[in-house]
Each structure stands twice: as structure tokens, then as C-alpha cells.
Amino acid sequence: MFVDEVEIEVQAGDGGNGAATFRREKYVPRGGPDGGDGGQGGHIVLQVDTNLTTLLDFRYQRRYRAERGGDGGAKGMFGKNGKDLVLKVPQGTVVTDLETGQQIADLSLAEARAIVARGGVGGRGNAHFVNSVHQAPKFAEKGEPGERKRLRLELKLLADVGLIGYPNVGKSTLIAAVSAARPKIANYPFTTLVPNLGVVYVETGRSFVMADIPGLIEGASQGAGLGHRFLRHVERTRLLIHILDVSGMTGREPLRDFEVLNRELALYSAALAQLPQFVALNKLDVATDPAAVDALEAELCARGYPVYRLSAATGQGVRALVYAAMEAIERSRKEGGELSTPAAEHVRIAAVPQEDVRQWDVTRVDAHTFVVTGRHVERMVAMTDFNNEYAVRRLQRILEKMGVNRKLKEMGARDGDTVRIRDVEFDYEDEDRWDEEADAEAVSARPRRRR
């Protein structure tokens, strides 16, 4: 089965927890902190496997999880790093983050590989937190949670040329005539149900990839026939070959079919409609009305289309079409526009815009509730062990330093209001009222409970 679109859920490994341990030595009453760091959580990695031609496997399994990092231990022992989970995908797979709608990877190179969800870093052991004030820190960081994402994987075949045309016009016959592709061919519409790729060798060292795109009819953009779902496979081509049946035996009007399909293309994507198009007048061997073929050719030429007469069945005219296509493709490769050689430079691991991780923000969600957001601040909360008062106090100091409390006060927070960061809620307490008893560790926001 050919599957070219799936949605999956991935969960990278959490970082391991740091350890809060102390050296034990003979005759040394209280050794220093020696807790080691947690290990890094495993990433979720997508990697091209050129033997794959479909995303079928992802239909059966939709959830993936990478290994968690090991916890740190006493005597400075580091936790083990979690293993990455490597998922094999066919060449031409494009990955979109469903949360943000952003394309995060385009795996078009044969050796392409992309981390699509990062494992969390390991928490630091207490050995890291020694300073002049804290000689014996009794806490360690927890591991950072691994990224969790919902992803859409789309397979976009990498072809130079897309063959389009109404059912039964001879698309599959043509691709079978010029390449090793062997799609099903028969004298009825919708014979071919999935796109087929073929490599067309023109002469030594010159070749291009052709895709037979089945199932396009009027209303395809509304889902008629096989719908327009296969059009994604021609999005990245350089040239379309639009095939018309000129046998005169179909009872159809070729010029009308041509216009209808072009309208469907435009409805799918303006960019597709802009692609150069060759028109192939097929089944010339059985054409009953030569004058009608001449008239059709004249009309299409007048509209600016290069027109080729051929018979995919006998091979007549096929060579001329293939050479012309090859030349157009080579020109387009040289110009090197947005579309480039399949399996060559056609790869981009999308640059995800780097937000400033230190940035944070407070929003008031109702009269008594404030939410603090920001990569860094949320990460700090996730890595804090709320069962450990020392760790909690450290977090409070950090929030204080960042100016979170000042900001809350400015926004009108009152005693007892709720301050939420990630999945933790704090009671807000006005720091000024604590001034008298303020010591280095007095902080206004005190944790209430984990949710």
C-alpha cells in the first residue's frame, strides 16, 4: 500500500536526574557533595532509507518514545545517556510540527537525517552547586523533560517531470515506454491508483525522474476521483507533461479537458499552475480525424505551449518529447531556482527561528491568576525537585533575580493570587511585607502544589 501522509506523536527521552549525595569516607565525619549528573535523554531522529517508498509503517505505529537518560549517582557517577530512537523514512519526506504549523525538516537527500525532538539534558548533581554560601547543597536538578511533538510526515516524491492528464489518456503507457517503471495499464479510467516514479535515461550521464500522477479529473480539488492529494508529488517538479488523448474515439473534448485540469491545478496551488507545461497529443496511431489534431495543435501553440505529437503505444514521437524534456530540465537545473535536482542539493533542514530562550512573559488570565511563560523559566521549573526545600528555595532565588516577582507586583498581583508556571502553581505573596524578616532567601512566590 502506498501511504504518503501520516501523523505521529514523538516523545524524546527525559534527562536523568542529578544526584544529591555526600562523600562517605572513613574518619571523615561529613564529606563534601559528590552527586553526579543525570544522562542526556535520547533524541527522536528521522533518517532517510532509500529502500523505502512509502510511509506505510507509520500507519501501524503512531507513538514513538526515545530512552530516558539514567540518573546520576554518588561518587560523581554520571547517568547513562538515553539511546536515540532512529525512525527510517523514505527519501522526500517533509516534516511539519502540527503545533506550530512549521515545516521543521525536509529529508530529500539520500543521506538526510534530522533530529525532530530533542532529548532533555541531564540534571546537575549537587557537586555543581557548591559556592561560598552553600558548602553542602542538599539538592540536585531533575532532568529536563524531552521534547514532545505531534508531527505530520508527508512524502513528496522527487521528480523532475510530472505526467498529468485525464484517466485513460496513456500516462502509464508513456512512463512504461521510457523508463523501467511498470504501472498497471488497461483500457479503463483509474487503472493506476498510486503515483509511479521512473528514471528516464537519455544517454550516458543524462537522466531525469518522471512521475505518473493518476486520478485527476474535474472537481479533483473538491475530492472527486482520487482527489488532488497526489498533486503534492508534482509540487517539486520542474516541468509538467500534460497528455491529451487525440484518438477521437473517446467522446471527450481534449481542449476542454486540458482547460479543466489546468483549473484544478490552479485551485490546488498557484505555484503549480506556473510550472512550464509541455502538451503531448497521444494515441496519434489511432487518430481518426487528422484535421482536428492539427486544429488542436495550432490552438495550443497559439497559447504558447510546446506541443508534441506521439504514440506512447508505438513509440512514434516519444524520443523527441523525451529529448525536449531533458533539455528543459537541464536548463532549469542550471538556473537552479527553488527547484533543484532530486537527490542532490534538494535539502533543507528548516531553520527553526531561534526565540531568545531567556525571554519570559507574564499574562493575567483572570482576576487572580497569572501565568509565567518562557523557555528558560519553564525549564527551570521542570528541573526543580519540589519535594526538596533547598531546590525550591533555589528556584525562588532565581525567579527573584530574573525580576518575575517585580513584574507580578507591577501587574497588580495581590496576596493569595495564583501564579502558574508550567504545571506548578504558586501562591503569590507580596515581598514588601516580608522585608523585616528578609534574609537572602526570602522570596515572595511560594509553591503550593503540583498539578
Ligand X SMILES: Nc1nc2c(ncn2[C@@H]2O[C@H](COP(=O)(O)OP(=O)(O)OP(=O)(O)O)[C@@H](O)[C@H]2O)c(=O)[nH]1
Contact residues: ligand X, CB under 6 A: 165, 167-173, 185-187, 189-192, 214, 282-283, 285-286, 311-313
C-alpha cell of residue 334: 542550471
# binding residues, Mg ion (CB under 5 A): 3
Strands 5-11 and 63-65: parallel
Among positions 158-187, residues that touch Mg ion (CB under 5 A) are 172
Q: Minimum distance between the CB of residue 170 and ligand X, rounded to whole angstroms? A: 3
CB closer to ligand X out of 108 and 277: 277
CB closer to Mg ion out of 237 and 396: 237
CB atoms within 10 A of CB 411: 12
When CB distances are held under 5 to 8 angstroms depending on the partner's kind, the choice from Mg ion, ligand X, none that residue 168 binds is ligand X
CB closer to Mg ion out of 174 and 321: 174
C-alpha cell of residue 2: 502506498
Among positions 187-246, residues that touch Mg ion (CB under 5 A) are 191-192
Name residue 198's amino acid. Answer: G
| Rounded (10°) CA dihedral 202, 203, 204, 207 | -10
Q: Minimum distance between the CB of residue 218 and ligand X, rounded to whole angstroms? A: 14
Q: If DSSP codes are grouped into helix, strand and coil, which group holds residue 254?
A: helix
Assess 444 for contact with Mg ion (CB under 5 A).
Answer: no
Q: Minimum distance between the CB of residue 216 and Mg ion, rounded to whole angstroms? A: 11
Backbone angles phi and psi of 106, in degrees to 5: -130, 100
Among positions 253-272, residues that touch Mg ion (CB under 5 A) are none
Closest residue to ligand X: CB criterion? 170
Q: Minimum distance between the CB of residue 332 and ligand X, rounded to whole angstroms? A: 25
Can you tell me the distance from the alpha carbon of 360 to that of 402, in angstroms, rounded to the nearest whole number?
A: 9
Counted residue by residue, the chain has a size of 451
Helix (H) or strand (E) holding 296: helix 290-302
When CB distances are held under 5 to 8 angstroms depending on the partner's kind, the choice from Mg ion, ligand X, none that residue 312 binds is ligand X
Q: Minimum distance between the CB of residue 179 and ligand X, rounded to whole angstroms? A: 13
Q: Minimum distance between the CB of residue 269 and Mg ion, rounded to whole angstroms? A: 23
Can you tell me the distance from the alpha carbon of 207 to that of 191, in angstroms, rounded to the nearest whole number?
A: 27
CB atoms within 10 A of CB 146: 28
Residues that bind Mg ion (CB under 5 A): 172, 191-192
